[in-house]
Each structure stands twice: as C-alpha cells, then as structure tokens.
Amino acid sequence: MQSSIPDLFGIKIPLIQAGMVWNSGWRLASAVSNAGALGVIGSGSMYPEVLQYHLQQCKAHCSAPFAVNIPLLYPDIESHIETVIQHRVPIVITSAGNPATYTQRLKDAGIRVVHVVASAKFAEKAQKAGCDAVVAEGFEAGGHNGREETTSFVLIPLVKAAVDIPVIAAGGIATGQQMLAAMILGAEAVQIGTRFVCTPEASSHESFKDAVIQAGEGATQLSMKKTVPVRLLKNAFYHKIQAAEDAGADAKSLKEILGKGRAKKGMFEGDLEEGELEIGQVAALVHRIQPAAEVVAEIWREYNTLLDSIKKGA
C-alpha cells in the first residue's frame, strides 16, 4: 500500500487528525504530531488571538510538522490566513468554501494546501486551484457535510478516479481495519475525527466525550439539510430542530432555532440537551477514552498487523 503522504507532509504515518471546532487545540494537535501522525489545530472556533496562542503552544510542544484547518467561511478569514503564513505553518487544510480564493497565496508562502470535499466535482476544483491533496469526506463523517450524501465506500473511488493528487479518506474511520479498507479503495491516507475526540487531549467537555463513547448505532443523524447539513448526536436540540424540519420549516426558521453558540454550548460547555454535539457515525465503534499517542499507535499497529496477515495469506 503505497502512500506519498508521509513524504508530502514530512510525517511518519499516513494518518491525519481532523481539525474539529471546540475539540482540537494545541494539546491534541501536538500529541498527534509527536506520535508520528499529523496533528491539526481546528481554527474554526478560535478568535484570531486564540489561534496565535495555540500556534505558539503547538510549536513549543511539538517538533514534528502539524497543520491548521481553516473553514473558508470563517468571519475573520483574512486574519487567519495571515496568521498561518506569519507562523510558517507547514500544512493548511481548508474546508467549507472555494479553494480558488486562498490556495495560491498559501502556496506562495511555501505552505502545503489540502482542501476538504464531499464530491468528485469539488475535488477537481481543488486540484485546479493548485491543492496538494484532497480530503474526501463521506456522508458518515461528523460535523458539516455535503448535500449529496455520498458515502466513503462510493466517494473514495469516485474522487480517486477524478484527480491525480493524493486522496485522503475521511468519514467512518476509527480503526486500523477501516484505515486499510480506505487505502484499498484508493486513499493514500485517512483523516480521523471522532476517535480523537475520545482522548484526554481533546479540548471538549468531559460530558461530551462521555456521550460519544456511550453512543451506539443510530445515535447520530445528518440534520439541518435545508441550511448547512451537520451530523450530530440525537439529543433534545436535535429532536427539536428535526421535528421543525419534518414539519416543513424553512431555512430561516431553522437558523432561528439553531441560534448562535450551540456548538460551543454542547461540545465545549457540556450542555448535552441544548448543545449541538457534532460527531461521526463511527462513534458507535469507539468505546473508551485513550491518550492520543495511544490512539495513533493502536490504529497503525492494527493496520499493519492486518496487512501482514493478508500478505501471509491468512
């Protein structure tokens, strides 16, 4: 299973921790990068000065390359772009927006740029914009997602066929077994979010982490399809907004129900009833809190053990 990702990013293991709002600050990113994978700071929930602080801390605690995820719809996007350039962040993962806008500027600053897509069509756009790789995010992934609902099983081969740049698979991956399946389908690396929420280093609230490890099959749903689709745990807030959507509420009404600050309330402050609890479907396969370095090592060991057993014809 060949992968150009370790060389491209200067890392040892073709595994990327997803940049997640309210979850992935410098503690998680540095722990993952120190373990040989790629740690990612999720800047979407950070004020400009908060991102600066996390970058300083990450550099101080980590000698390996790390990345920053920037949702391109971030209100103060210019500030974030300037910050990652000034701090000479080696890799930037952009999402939720047009890759044509900032990719060249980041590349001119010597930064590797990866864009997150949910379709082959947008993967082609990312390649055309000069991105070094794409993250193909399937329907099963947590948080914001595409409208076409293409799952990893179908999306990975579709994106692989559409572009020449490396494909990083995201959505439905939490184990070495799933990592190998994604690589079989054409990915050169995987991006994992949900499992890294279940680490002491994730900055989210303990109650949220507990809810994730308790979550079984059917515990999440892609909701708010009339505005921005988001996969989240089915809590009281979910049932309220889903009932409104089912009853015919329009995008405006749904945005009013959503209001402001629900993701922070749920994931950072631990309000399991009224908060927005973004997580992937694969939460059903994650049963305990483990240090991030142990998660990286375990997934990589599972992956290689399974690959070796196949090579031996087991």
Interacting positions 223-262 with a copy of itself (CB under 8 A)? 226, 246-249
Q: Is the dihedral of CA 87, 300, 115, 200 positive or negative?
A: negative
CB of 188 to a copy of itself, least distance (A): 14
Residue closest to 37 by CA, chosen among 66, 79, 73, 63: 66
Dihedral angle, C-alpha 68, 69, 74, 77, nearest 10 °: 40
Binding-site member from 96, 100, 154, 258 for a copy of itself (CB under 8 A): 154
From start to end of the chain, where are the E strands? 15-17, 39-42, 66-71, 91-95, 112-117, 133-137, 143-144, 167-170, 189-192, 220-223, 230-233
Q: In three state form, how does the secondary structure of 156-172 look?
A: HHHHHHHCCCCEEEECC
Q: How far apart are CA 152 and CA 177, in angstroms?
A: 14
Q: How many residues line the site for a copy of itself (CB under 8 A)?
A: 50
Please pick, from the candidates 124, 149, 274, 298, the single residue that binds a copy of itself as defined by CB under 8 A. Answer: 149
Q: Which of 18, 192, 285, 296 binds a copy of itself (CB under 8 A)?
A: 285
| Of residues 13 and 156, the one with the C-beta less far from a copy of itself | 156
Residue 114: alpha-carbon gap to chain centroid = 12
Show the site string, 264-283: x = touches a copy of itself by CB under 8 A, - = not. Answer: -----------------xx-
**Minimal distance in Å, beta carbon 238 to a copy of itself?**
14
Of 28, 68, 163, 185, which one interacts with a copy of itself (CB under 8 A)?
Answer: 185
Residue closer to a copy of itself, measured from CB, 75 or 248: 248
Closer to a copy of itself at the Cβ: 53 or 153?
153
Contacts of residue 210, defined as CB under 8 A and 6 or more positions apart, other chains included, come to none
Site for a copy of itself contains 171 (CB under 8 A): yes
Task: Tell me: does residue 120 bind a copy of itself (CB under 8 A).
Answer: yes
CA distances from 200 to 31, 211, 266, 277, 307 (A): 10, 14, 17, 18, 29
The residues of the shown chain that bind a copy of itself, judged by CB under 8 A, are 1-2, 119-121, 138-140, 147-155, 157-158, 171-173, 175, 177-178, 180-182, 184-186, 217-218, 221-222, 226, 246-249, 281-282, 284-285, 306-307, 310-311, 313-314
